[in-house]
Structure 1
Amino acid sequence: MNREPDWALWRSFAAVLAQGSLSAAARQLGLSQPTIGRHVEALEAQLGVTLFERALTGLKPTPLALRLHDPVQAAQAALNQAVMTAEGAQQEATGTVRITASTMISNYVLPEILAAIRRLHPHIALEIVPSDSAENLLMREADIALRMFRPTQLELVTRHLGDIPLVPVAHSDYLARRGRPETLEDLWSHDLLGFDRSDAIIAHASTLGHRLTRDHFPLRSDDQPLLWELLKAGLGIGFAQANLARRTPGLVILPIALGIPPLPLWLTTHRELFTSHRIRVIYDALAQGLLAYIKGHTSPR
């Protein structure tokens, strides 16, 4: 080996190993596929070893590549820790804060909260990552996360802001056309909006003693913002955050007890970042805005 490989090469190697392909690694890192390919080839050349076997089906890691996984991951975590420690020492409210939240919170709750934050902190840039997957704060995929579950890692600072009730909802146009269900039996006879691959609604109905199938849901999607727009268009009855439904013109909450567990909302960041003035002011401002939303104090949009 002529010289120590640049960390960028190791980072691309780790992404290919984790994602299974050059294209997926490129998407994760925000680079082009040819760049990732060149990085892998350069790393192999500098180490004098083969890390991936090339085949028509893609790249297959060699046994050596698999053995390198843990030490590279440990090095990556250590570098991220060093960056977070340095950023935690910053005292100026400037720079960038990356926030991740569910697709529904990102699209329909955060905008007015972020508008207020931008007025207060115009020198802080905000990056928003709408995602229903759990972005990894420890690997710096986000600085602040809004979770619908309680994070358990000791390295995180987390605050339970409250619980968001989930209720059956329909647009007034749909109810005028199809009538208003008064009981659970009535509800199941209506056009229901539901998930495509998830059976969460069907499973919960089963706990209530009702046997539902996919046929009860003539409109299905795993994209929750799309389901919300279908609901607003009057295409059926869905299940939504009560506070969001109350502030949306035309939507009616149906007084049918379903016993749906509420959504807990946790605000989370890394403990090393929590000492950063930039992160802390955005964290506190998000908490204030989200608490107002949970209490129903936000104004209609």
Structure 2
Amino acid sequence: MSTSAALVRTAEGRASEVDGTVRISASEVVGIEHLPPILARLRQRHPALTIELSLSNALDDLLQRKADIAVRMVRPEQQALVSKRIGAIRLGLHAHQAYLARRGTPVSLEELGRHDLIGYDVETPAIRAIAQHYPALTRSAFALRVDSDVAQLAAIRAGFGIGVCQVPIATSEPDLMRVLPDAFAIDLETWVVMHEDLRSSARCRAVFDALGEELAPLVHR
């Protein structure tokens, strides 16, 4: 199915013009919090361009052409891919100021055990590695367990408790406060990636370049 869809996307646009369809794969948070304004500006510049956006925390395999371009939070290993490193987006612990006013602000990782924590339900190898460094953030400690990063962010915004979110998102919202910034920080390497066979596609190159240019400021926000 993914191969036939890729053939349709390839056939519908002319290689030298920015028209036709480009399918982008990205995580939920990137796709909901960061990409919409970027894609809106891209569409204004190229009105013949159609975007398909696939939101998932799973890594779509570009080699199988499930997507034309992906925004990945891990370094791409496949050699048949063209990639651009955006930089590292920092993750931190955050809470709504109303929650902190109600429950107080922890001054150490140990004090997190007395707070309502928001975290994962199903443990993955990446989460397991984080938990080894931060034993206070294990599954048994979470008052809310959900594997959707967007749902976790919504719970933080609602004042449920303390959870992990991207620092660039929180800094743009005055009600979200960083908690224990010196004790907890994780950097997510961020890349824009596409299959090398798409180098000559004007529409894919336009999207690739736009994502690389406009996502970069997130690293420095």
Q: TM-score, normalised by structure 2?
A: 0.89
Percentage of matched positions with identical amino acids: 39
RMSD: 2.6
Distance 2:137 2:212 in 1: 38
Larger RCO: 1 or 2 (CA < 8 Å, sep 6+): 2
In 2 relative to 1, CA 183–256 (structure 1 residues): closer, same or farther, beyond 3 Å? farther
Distance 2:113 2:129 in 1: 14
Which residue of structure 1 lines up, in the alignment, with residue 130 of structure 2? 204
Which residue of structure 1 lines up, in the alignment, with residue 40 of structure 2? 115
Which residue of structure 1 lines up, in the alignment, with residue 216 of structure 2? 291
- Residue aligned with 2:64, SS: coil
Distance 2:65 2:127 in 1: 33
- Residue aligned with 2:57, SS: coil
Q: How many residues align structurally?
A: 219
Distance 2:196 2:129 in 1: 37
Q: How does 1:244-259 map to 2 (within 5 A)?
A: 244-259=169-184
In 2 relative to 1, CA 171–206 (structure 1 residues): closer, same or farther, beyond 3 Å? same
Match among 271, 274, 280 for residue 196 of structure 2: 271
Bigger shift: residues 286-295 or 216-225: 286-295
Which structure has greater strand proportion? 2
Q: How does 1:1-301 map to 2 (within 5 A)?
A: 29=1, 90-198=15-123, 204-208=130-134, 210=135, 213-296=138-221
**C-alpha deviation, 1:188, in angstroms:** 2.7
Residue deviations 1:74-133, cap 9 Å, x none?
xx79xx79x96x789710111111101011100111111111111111110111000111
Judge conservation of contact 1:183–1:256 (CA < 8 Å) in 2. Answer: no
In 2 relative to 1, CA 213–290 (structure 1 residues): closer, same or farther, beyond 3 Å? closer
**What are structure 2's unaligned runs of at least 5 residues?**
none
Aligned AA for 1:207? Answer: H
Q: TM-score, normalised by structure 1?
A: 0.66
**What are structure 1's unaligned runs of at least 5 residues?**
1-28, 31-75, 297-301
Distance 1:145 1:214 in 2: 29
Judge conservation of contact 1:166–1:261 (CA < 8 Å) in 2. Answer: yes
Judge conservation of contact 1:87–1:276 (CA < 8 Å) in 2. Answer: no
- Residue aligned with 1:109, SS: helix
Distance 1:282 1:266 in 2: 14
Judge conservation of contact 2:29–2:149 (CA < 8 Å) in 1. Answer: yes
- Residue aligned with 2:29, SS: helix
Bigger shift: residues 257-266 or 234-243: 257-266
Residue deviations 1:222-242, cap 9 Å, x none?
111111101100000001111
Distance 2:158 2:30 in 1: 20
Judge conservation of contact 2:12–2:21 (CA < 8 Å) in 1. Answer: no
In 2 relative to 1, CA 108–166 (structure 1 residues): closer, same or farther, beyond 3 Å? same
In 2 relative to 1, CA 97–107 (structure 1 residues): closer, same or farther, beyond 3 Å? same
Residue deviations 1:267-293, cap 9 Å, x none?
100111021111111111111110122
